[in-house]
Amino acid sequence: MATHALSPAVPAYRGGLYEWLTTTDHKKIGIMYLINSFFFFLIGGLFALLVRTELAAPGIQLFTNEHVYNESFSIHATVMIFLFIIPVLAGLGNYAVPLMIGAPDMAFPRINALSFWMLPLGGVLLLAGFLTPGGAAAAGWTSYPPLSERGALASPGPGQDLWIVSLILIGTSSILGGINFLVTIFKMRAPGMTLFRMPIMVWTMLVTSVLVVMATPVITSALVMLFIDRNYGGSFFLPDKGGQAVLYQNVFWFYSHPAVYVMVLPAMGVISEVLPVFSRKPLFGYKAFIFATAGIGALGFSVWAHHMFTTGAVFLPFFALMTFFIAVPTGVKMFNWVFTLFRGQLTFSTPLIFAIGFLTMFLIGGINGAFSAAVPVDFALHDTYWVVAHLHYVLFGGSVFGVFAGIYYWFPKMTGRMLSESLGKIHFILMFIGFNLTFFPMHMLGIKGMPRRIADYAGDAGWNDWNLLATIGGFTIAVSMLPFLWNVFVSLRGGKLAGDDPWEGNTLEWATSSPPPPYNFDRLPAIRSERPLFDARHGLHTHDGPGGQSDEKAPMALEEGSHDDQGPTP
């Protein structure tokens, strides 16, 4: 590929700390999102290791004060959901979306910076709970009242209030980010980039942002009501004062179920970019995929009560039916992905391997979810380790594998250097094995009756072996982070230079330098499909058949002399 006269050849981002702290560049903000998220990923992981260590064998080993155990799994889940998965995907989106639609930045760069800086602040507030008398929040990441209300054996300390304030802050960050994405996607697309030529990653960020803007404020309302109950004598969720305990669950899950799609749709977007590139084929059923994404988003608002089947307070058949229906668009996507691989020419670079990890593991997360959709079966499985297995197959097997696919895919674009392929593969193998060792046995534990969130279990319950296996797996996952971190460390210093387009990418971010200049593009190729760079390389292959317009083949027309349109606009 041609080099660009205007693009800096040296790796950028060597700017001073002050420049990073005050930047409004979506690329730097995106990278800061990623760094911040991985920092909290490690913290959340440490809490998971504490929990797994305690559960490795029957008997209390670690947590003589069981309140600390409850704090550990509560903070583990809160950190992983609100400070890792949601922000890390927002970070990838932040980096990729403006580049993918050919925009110079997000629509509101300063609000973008504000969204980011609320995250570390929220994280610090959350963890500050450990310094308060009574410790951090310990009522689970769901914090159901009355357990999360004040009360001698409930949540008397300020840790729970810090949890609430932290989540409101992080939620506000999400909402502002979501608005920013929507305006960027609707208003900042390059000429020719129609809605149905947008990369799938952009589509998933679009649907995700709609979910964030519409659902996140609802959890904010639940949180402020809880805060009022706790601190100003309110009675929303206190039955003895005329409130209703289940009301919180309804409002909470009205957000938190769509939040599951917030946590998985962008990861689906990532692998929908990776699979076509490394198969040298277009995504199979591009439009069907978009409709399926929108369908999941819409159905996501009508299934919240499937988290509440055992409360005796919801209309079971409706929510069961809607929950089953979600399987249909999800299945459509699964087949689209598999048929993208089918009859392709696959290059097994690390991004593709992680994307395949996503496919194989997310499939299990979909299938074991169907068990809980069958209401009577859910009576057996709800709040057992089966659910823990299910949610980790979706959020770890799905989202986290997708996140790593994205990191390996865009790292060359972000830094100008390639990550090591062999370290990447070691990382994948360790993580894949560790992941399955940890979470597959949880199916067995759940079906045999082990409830979640218990610090100990009887030695004769038949749960010992599976628990030990899960703990070994947990530590394997922890170990798998070492080759990854080492890979990032050495590749930043001496990795192979990436060039503009190391993967023969399809989308616009590969048309600029690596890393891109602050304004992103000197010029753009023609956009006449969802794969503008592919078209530039190979000619337009439309849905009507290959080579249908191949005489119009436009080679990467990036020669000099076309930056007159950089001039000021009237």
Partner 1 sequence: MSTSPRKRPASDALVAGGVVVLLFAIVAVVMWISGSALYPPAAVTTQAKEISKLYDVVFAIAVAVFVAVEGLIVWSILRYRRRPTDVDLPPQTHGNNMVEVLWTLIPTVIVLYLFAISWQTLNTVDYTSVANGQKPDIQIRALAGQFQWQFEYLDGNGNHIATQTRAAGEGGGMAVPVGKKVYVTLRSGDVIHAWYVPRFLFKRDVVPGQENHFEFTVDPAELIDGKPATFHGQCAELCGTGHRVMLFSVVAMSQADYDAWLAKLVEIEKATPPPAPSGAPVLTLGAKGIAYDKKDLQAPAEAPFVIDFKNEDPATITHDIDIHGADGTTVVANQEPIAGGTSTQYTYDPLPAGTYQFFCSVHPGVPGMTGTLTVN
Partner 2 sequence: MTAEAHVGHAAQAAPSGHAQRGISNPILGMLLFITSEVMFFSGLFAAYFATRAANTPWPPDVFKDILDPLGPIIIATVILIASSFTCQFAVWSIRRGDRKGFVRNISITFVLGIIFLIMQVYDYMLLFSEGMTLGSGPFGTTYFTLTGFHGAHVFGGVLMLGVILYRGMAGQFSAKHHDAVEAVSLYWHFVDVVWILLFSILYLI
For binding to partner 2 (CB under 8 A), which residues are involved?
102-105, 107-108, 175, 178-180, 182-183, 186-192, 213-222, 224-225, 228-229, 232-236, 241-244, 247, 250-251, 254, 520-521, 523-526, 552, 554, 557, 562-563, 565-567, 569-570
Residue 566 binding result from partner 1, partner 2, none, given CB thresholds of 5 to 8 Å by partner type: partner 2
Cβ 426 to partner 1 shortest distance, Å: 19
Is there binding between residue 454 and partner 1 (CB under 8 A)? yes
Cβ–Cβ < 8 Å for 411, 491: yes
Is there binding between residue 401 and partner 1 (CB under 8 A)? no
Cβ–Cβ < 8 Å for 193, 101: yes
Cβ 261 to partner 2 shortest distance, Å: 16
Cβ-based nearer residue to partner 2, 287 or 563 = 563
Cβ 189 to partner 1 shortest distance, Å: 22
Cβ-based nearer residue to partner 2, 265 or 470 = 265
Cβ-based nearer residue to partner 1, 212 or 389 = 389
Cβ–Cβ < 8 Å for 269, 205: yes
Cβ 227 to partner 1 shortest distance, Å: 18
Cβ–Cβ < 8 Å for 32, 95: no
Residues between 530 and 559 with contacts to partner 1, criterion CB under 8 A: 538-539, 541-543, 546-547, 550, 553
Neighbours of 403 (CB within 10 A): 26
Residues between 331 and 350 with contacts to partner 1, criterion CB under 8 A: 331-332, 334-335, 338-339, 341-348
Cβ-based nearer residue to partner 2, 242 or 376 = 242
Cβ-based nearer residue to partner 2, 392 or 413 = 413
Cβ 400 to partner 1 shortest distance, Å: 19
Cα–Cα distance for residue pair 198/210, rounded to 1 Å: 16
Relative orientation angle of helices 109-128 and 26-55, to the nearest 10 degrees: 20
Which residues is 490 bridged to in the sheet? none
Cβ 364 to partner 2 shortest distance, Å: 33
Cβ 560 to partner 1 shortest distance, Å: 25
SS3 letters across 159-190: HHHHHHHHHHHHHHHHHHHHHHHHHHHHHCCC
Cβ-based nearer residue to partner 2, 118 or 267 = 118
Taking alpha carbons only, the member of 382, 400, 563, 408 closest to residue 487 is 408
Neighbours of 227 (CB within 10 A): 16
Which region, judged by CB under 8 A, interacts with partner 1, from 113-121, 141-149, 253-261, 492-500?
A: 141-149
- The one among 133, 312, 568, 570 contacting partner 1 by CB under 8 A: 312
Cβ–Cβ < 8 Å for 143, 222: no
Cβ–Cβ < 8 Å for 12, 515: yes
Neighbours of 315 (CB within 10 A): 8
Cβ-based nearer residue to partner 1, 35 or 313 = 313
Is there binding between residue 55 and partner 1 (CB under 8 A)? no
Cα–Cα distance for residue pair 479/90, rounded to 1 Å: 26
Produce one character per residue of 93-130: b if its CB has 16 or more CB atoms within 10 Å, e if not.
bbbbbbbbbbbbbbbbbebbbbbbebbbebbebbbebe
- The one among 6, 452, 475, 499 contacting partner 1 by CB under 8 A: 452
- The one among 144, 301, 475, 486 contacting partner 1 by CB under 8 A: 144
Taking alpha carbons only, the member of 348, 447, 334 closest to residue 390 is 447
Question: Residues with Cβ < 8 Å from 173, sequence gap 6 or more?
Answer: 114, 115, 116, 118, 119, 122
Is there binding between residue 363 and partner 1 (CB under 8 A)? yes
- The one among 447, 472, 490, 492 contacting partner 1 by CB under 8 A: 447
Instruction: List the structure tokens of 85.
Output: 């998965």
Cβ-based nearer residue to partner 2, 460 or 565 = 565
Is there binding between residue 425 and partner 1 (CB under 8 A)? no
Where is 383: in which H helix or E strand? none
3-state secondary structure at position 384: strand
Cβ–Cβ < 8 Å for 86, 79: no
Is there binding between residue 444 and partner 1 (CB under 8 A)? yes
**Residue 62 per-residue DSSP state:** S
Is there binding between residue 379 and partner 1 (CB under 8 A)? yes
Residue 1 binding result from partner 2, partner 1, none, given CB thresholds of 5 to 8 Å by partner type: none
Is there binding between residue 58 and partner 1 (CB under 8 A)? no
Residues between 211 and 240 with contacts to partner 1, criterion CB under 8 A: 239-240
Is there binding between residue 130 and partner 1 (CB under 8 A)? no
Is there binding between residue 196 and partner 1 (CB under 8 A)? no
